[in-house]
């Protein structure tokens, strides 16, 4: 495993999901202040779409399934994600970090990894530049495009780099036992490849306007990473100290999905 942290900033943290094309600038700033203090370990950032990419994806009825979507939709989803990336990159610059925004098309092709490009992400991070990539609308072949979610990118990058820390930040503390009690599940062990707690399956709210599948999809992706042997932490990104403490390997409030090979 490489001594590097792979951190996903969910769209629910960095945007207001119910306000089209509105970034949560306070949350972004608070995260930047916290991340600027993270000197112990290099890191790579992946961010989601929230009310940027998802807003247009819903409007143009575009999904993760490759299809010849409306060209206008392809254009505006990508543009909105680049705009959100710029907001994050600029906030990081303002807080003294050295981010480098790059779309997934620079290290994947038809959603498959380009090995050298992914290796470069880790090398950049290890040498003081922070790669900041994002879920995006990507070209598949001919007229076909697909939404490539930030969560899927996490699996793809983690699968090759094998980071020592994998962190998903959302707007909730982690996984709740059920939507009613909101009791946090501190740890999940994988059973037969799916994530289950000791006593019961986990409850999820509806995906709502999220074209890539909401929390359920996120946990499936996190479980996929854990099945490769890495621990995955789900934390509340609105409490940014938890992100950086998780990256430092400290015990934090959140849900840990145990890597299959870890004890
Ligand atoms: C979505 O990425 C990207 C687009 C809709 C283009 P994610 O699916 O990772 O975004 P969030 O974190 O759930 O908002």
pLDDT band at 218 (very low <50, low <70, confident <90, very high): confident
Average pLDDT, the chain: 91
139 CB-near residues (< 8 Å, 6+ apart): 105, 110, 145
149 lines ligand 1 (CB under 6 A): yes
Higher pLDDT, residue 127 or 190 = 127
Two structure tokens written together for 250: 């400290």
Q: Please report the pLDDT score of residue 190 as a whole number.
A: 80
pLDDT band at 24 (very low <50, low <70, confident <90, very high): very high
Q: Please report the pLDDT score of residue 196 as a whole number.
A: 52
| CB-CB contact of 158 with 150 (8 Å) | no
Q: Please report the pLDDT score of residue 107 as a whole number.
A: 98
Residue bearing the CA closest to ligand 1, atom 8: 149
Listed range (40-44, 159-163, 216-220) with the worst mean pLDDT = 216-220
Instruction: Provide the 8-state DSSP code for 99.
Output: E
Q: Is it the case that residue 227 has pLDDT exceeding 60?
A: yes
pLDDT tens per residue, range 177-189? 887 888 999 999 8
Average pLDDT over residues 116-138: 98
Average pLDDT over residues 120-125: 98
b/e code 99-127 from CB counts within 10 Å (16+ = b): bebbbbbebbeebebeeebbeebbebbee
Q: Please report the pLDDT score of residue 44 as a whole number.
A: 98
Average pLDDT over residues 16-29: 96
CA of 250 to the centre of ligand 1 (A): 27
136 lines ligand 1 (CB under 6 A): yes
Q: Is it the case that residue 229 has pLDDT exceeding 60?
A: yes
User: Which atom, in ligand 1's list, is nearest to the CA of 10?
Assistant: 12
Ligand 1 pocket test, pick from 18, 22, 31, 49 with the greatest ligand atom count within 8 Å of Cβ, gives: 49
Percent of the chain's residues with pLDDT above 70: 90
152 CB-near residues (< 8 Å, 6+ apart): 64, 111, 135, 212, 221
Task: Please indicate, yes or no, whether the overall pTM of this predicted structure exceeds 0.75.
Answer: yes
Q: Please report the pLDDT score of residue 99 as a whole number.
A: 98
pLDDT band at 199 (very low <50, low <70, confident <90, very high): very low
């Amino acid at each position: 495993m490489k001594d590097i942290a792979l951190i996903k900033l969910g769209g629910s943290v960095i945007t207001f999901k119910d306000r089209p094309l509105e970034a949560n600038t306070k949350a972004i700033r608070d995260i930047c202040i916290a991340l600027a203090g993270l000197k112990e370990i290099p890191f790579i950032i992946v961010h989601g779409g929230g009310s940027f990419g998802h807003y247009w994806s819903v409007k143009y009825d575009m999904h993760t399934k490759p299809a010849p979507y409306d060209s206008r939709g392809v254009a505006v989803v990508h543009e909105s994600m680049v705009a959100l990336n710029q907001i994050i990159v600029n906030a990081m610059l303002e807080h003294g970090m050295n981010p480098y925004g790059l779309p997934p098309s620079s290290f994947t092709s038809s959603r498959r990894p380009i090995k050298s490009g992914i290796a470069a992400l880790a090398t950049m991070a290890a040498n003081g530049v922070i790669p900041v990539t994002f879920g995006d609308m990507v070209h598949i072949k001919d007229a076909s495009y697909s939404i490539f979610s930030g969560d899927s990118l996490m699996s793809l990058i983690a699968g090759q780099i094998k980071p020592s820390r994998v962190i998903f930040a959302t707007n909730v503390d982690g996984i709740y036992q059920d939507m009613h009690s909101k009791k946090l599940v501190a740890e999940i062990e994988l059973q037969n490849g799916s994530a289950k707690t000791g006593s019961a399956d986990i409850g999820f709210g509806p995906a709502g306007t999220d074209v890539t599948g909401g929390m359920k999809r996120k946990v499936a992706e996190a479980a996929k990473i854990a099945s490769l042997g890495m621990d995955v932490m789900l934390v509340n990104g609105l409490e940014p100290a938890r992100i950086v403490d998780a990256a430092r390997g400290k015990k934090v409030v959140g849900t840990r999905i145990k890597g299959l090979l870890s004890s």
